[in-house]
Structure 1
Amino acid sequence: QEFATPEFNRHTSAPIYIYDRLDEPSRGMLEDNLAEAEGGETCVTFSTGMAAISAALGVLLKAGDTLVSHHTVYGCTYSLFTNWFPRLGIRVEFVDLNDRAALGELLARDLNVMVVYGESPCNPTLELLDLRGLSDELTRVNADRAPRRRVFSVLDNTFATPFCQRPLQHGIDLVVHSLTKNIGGFGTDMGGAVIGPMLLEPDLLLYRKDFGAVLSPKSAWPPLVHGLPTLPLRLRQQQLNALRVAEFLEAHPKVDHVRYPGLPSHPQHELARRQMRDFDGEFAPGSLVYFVLAGEPSAARAGGARLMDVLATKSLAITLAVSLGQLRTLVEHPASMTHAPVPPDKQLEAGIDPGGIRLSLGIEHPDDLIRDLERALAAV
């Protein structure tokens, strides 16, 4: 009867360990560590990253509300917004969140907007959102709104991880993660997390209890004892590999362009240097690289398919897989894999090239990765 009520504080009261969907020690320790890593007041974990996204938005939105989303998001997130939210009476607007004027105009026009959602870096293009700029815009808008009608910001920080970026420090309200990726780190367990203000903890706990997307103790233990403690060590090597591979690809004649926040050629490199910093204040541009082959769109797509086939069958160090943030380097074709739920015309609007390829760098020796890519590109 006490659990998940506004009066109950599980951080100061005795824990209620009577049923796994309520609370559990392994999961609770992981949540405390994740909250500390992101600089948040509280964390509630879930069975997957998509369950975490659904919960964060589920406690903030109701029928009649509007969600504003950046135009480039993960394919399953797009599917959630376009296939399921309309059934719940929730309207979704896709916009460019870096266009402050357009966002401000939309927020002024639609007083039912209750959440602004995005990713940074974006999946798969590695476009960045100006987190402080977005936060400042919402602060300006919320100054004219009643407290119960304030607009919340929700950011998926999976690509950066708290090692590279802590959005709450830039004024974002809630952060969501797929623990399956870098935080888990080894590709063995699925999980998700929401980190944010204590104000929302009772609703998040109640949502988890009633909707049932609970992170099991067995899945909480690996990120707690293996994933988080090794995150800095893994990401430092992955970032070195990402920069080496990105520089190799940028110089290759068969590659049209490369997007990696650590490259000076990234259109938002200076923004990356401002907001992507590790715990020591060092520049931390992450472990993902996105590149597009040269040629007309149809030729680039065919070349990308050929490249993927060669890597899948001939590569020694690169694995074809849709996940990311693992010890091994993973490659995928977003247009036909992670972002397949997004219609082709919407992919183009979101900047997802038909021939674009996403690399998630592991901890292998970079020379081995470059040799695999050299052979694959020679076959295109």
Structure 2
Amino acid sequence: MKFSTKAIHAGQEPDPATGAIMTPIYQTSTFAQAGMGEHKGYEYARTGNPTRTALEQCLAALENGQYGLAFASGLAAESAVLNLLSSGDHMVSCDDLYGGTYRIFERIMSRYQIQTSYVTAGNIEEYEKAIRPNTKLIWLETPTNPLLRLVDIRAVAEIAHRHNILLVVDNTFSSPYFQKPLDLGADIVLHSTTKYINGHSDVIGGALVMNDQKVYEALKFHQNAAGGVPGPFDSWLTLRGIKTLAVRMRQHEENARGVARFLQEHPRVEKLYYPGLASHPDHELAKRQMSGFGGMVSFQFRGKLADVDQVVRRLKVFTFAESLGGVESLVCHPASMTHGSIPKEIREARGVNDTLLRLSIGIEDIEDLLADLEQALA
């Protein structure tokens, strides 16, 4: 099946009991068993739920993976991956990454003597140089959050596997519609399904997809043991959102291209980050690695911190809020919101300064989005 067909049908056969086309919401905490060790595949809803199973199978199909696991949030999915590590292990990560990921690396994993080295996102040589004898995992975002840098997944995968290291790729910004890291050599793909996969800003969720059975079994064990699972209604809402993922992503990208071209010419824009522009340093890599450039645009405008508040208050169509990937357009100030947990000196050294704004471009009419930006920046 092609992508759009998978999104609608993978893991979502008509209900065998009733013939219902839509996957039922199995709103139950436990399941009847005929006798000792005799049940219909489900025992307790933390361990497994038919609605969640449908979601996990669909997510795996979309990423061209064998196994999918759904979690209560993206960070719950991250925690499962990090629990593959043991005290004294080491990780290598790209330096431009989500503030919540940095926080769990530095304020939680470090308490268990698990250290992280950060390297320039797109500098492939740095990844190999940062590897130590106790390095067990390489962590990538591509495109990165919020500066939209790209990392050559295939090249880093070759390095990781040469050293017997797992490669994890956060694919949230691209969605599986535009990028499939497993096909490029990644071992685990991570999503905050809160974002594009659900697409309607009404669910918190996360997911992991992989091909290796042993890795799957270890992560599945953690999912059940720690219990950070989504409820059946959240799973159902995410499945509902997935059905329109392809058409939404096409419109997100079309609008993002229009916004990026507009901002590229605007006199108040000092720096612009969008991999779909030929001026982006990773544009050629994006063309090779992705089937589209996504719906995220970041820019730094000429002004001071005080001007940020003026700009975001003037916006009428864009909503000033955290998160991304919904049908509505959002604007975020990373320095005080999504990346506020990163110390100021580290954040600014990486390029996340006080006048950087991150746009999640929705699927509204492009004319309204451009007019809104024009009047807010005027």
TM-score, normalised by the number of residues in structure 1: 0.87
Q: CA RMSD in A?
A: 1.4
Do the aligned partners of 1:242 and 1:361 also contact (CA within 8 Å) in 2? yes
CA distance in 2 between partners of 1:34 and 1:25 (Å): 14
Q: Name the CA distance, whole Å, in 2 between partners of 1:27 and 1:289.
A: 32
1:102 to partner: Cα distance? 2.5
CA distance in 2, matches of 1:287, 1:100: 25
- Superposed CA offset, 1:185-227 (max 9, x none): 1111111001112221221121111111011111000121x21
Preserved CA contact (<8 Å) 1:15 1:23: no
Give the partner amino acid of 1:331: V
Equivalent runs, 1:176-195 vs 2, <5 Å: 176-195=190-209
CA deviations 1:3-23 (Å, max 9, x no partner) are xxxxxxxxxx98631101111
1-side partners of 2:196 and 2:250: how far apart? 12
The structure 2 residue matched to 1:26, chosen from 15, 31, 51, is 51
Q: Is the 8 A contact 2:121 2:150 kept in 1?
A: no
Q: Helix, strand or coil: the match of 2:287?
A: helix
1:67 match: 91
Q: Contact 2:147 / 2:273 at 8 angstroms: preserved in 1?
A: yes
- In the alignment, what sits opposite 1:334? 334
Per residue, is there more helix in 1 or in 2? 1
Match of 2:82 among 57, 61, 67: 57
After TM superposition, list the pairs within 5 Å mapping 1:1-380 onto structure 2: 16-59=41-84, 61-107=85-131, 110-140=132-162, 142=163, 150-196=164-210, 197-224=212-239, 226-277=240-291, 284-294=292-302, 299-311=303-315, 315=316, 317-378=317-378
1:362, distance to aligned residue in structure 2 (A) = 0.7
Q: Deviations over 1:143-202 (max 9, x none)?
A: xxxxxxx21011110000000100111101101001111000111111100111222122
Consecutive unaligned residues of structure 1, counting only runs of 5 or more, are: 1-12, 143-149, 278-283
How far does residue 359 in structure 1 lie from its aligned partner after superposition? 0.5
8 Å contact from structure 1 (residues 116, 154) kept in 2: yes
Query: How far apart are residue 104 of structure 1 and its match?
Result: 1.6
- Cα distance in 2 for partners of 1:254, 1:129 equals 29
Compared with structure 1, are the counterparts of its residues 15 and 122 closer, same or farther at alpha carbon in structure 2 (3 Å cutoff)? farther
Distance 1:305 1:111 in 2: 47
Percent identical among aligned pairs is 39
Is this contact kept in 1: 2:138–2:168, CA < 8 A? yes
CA shift at 1:49, angstroms? 0.4
| Structure 2 contact 96–121 (Cα < 8 Å) conserved | no
Q: CA separation in 2, counterparts of 1:51 and 1:64?
A: 22
Unaligned runs of 5+ in 2: 1-37
Q: 1:62, 1:120 → 2: CA distance?
A: 26
TM-score for the superposition, normalised by structure 2:
0.87
Q: Would the aligned equivalents of 2:332 and 2:357 in 1 still touch at CA under 8 Å?
A: yes
SS at match of 1:336: coil
Moved beyond 6 Å, runs of 4+: none
Aligned length: 340
Matched with 1:7 is none
Q: Does the Cα contact within 8 Å between 1:292 and 1:300 map onto a contact in 2?
A: no
**Structure 2 CA distance for partners of 1:101 and 1:14, relative to 1, 3 Å:** farther
Is contact 2:273-2:297 (8 Å) kept? yes
Q: Name the amino acid aligned to 1:98.
A: G
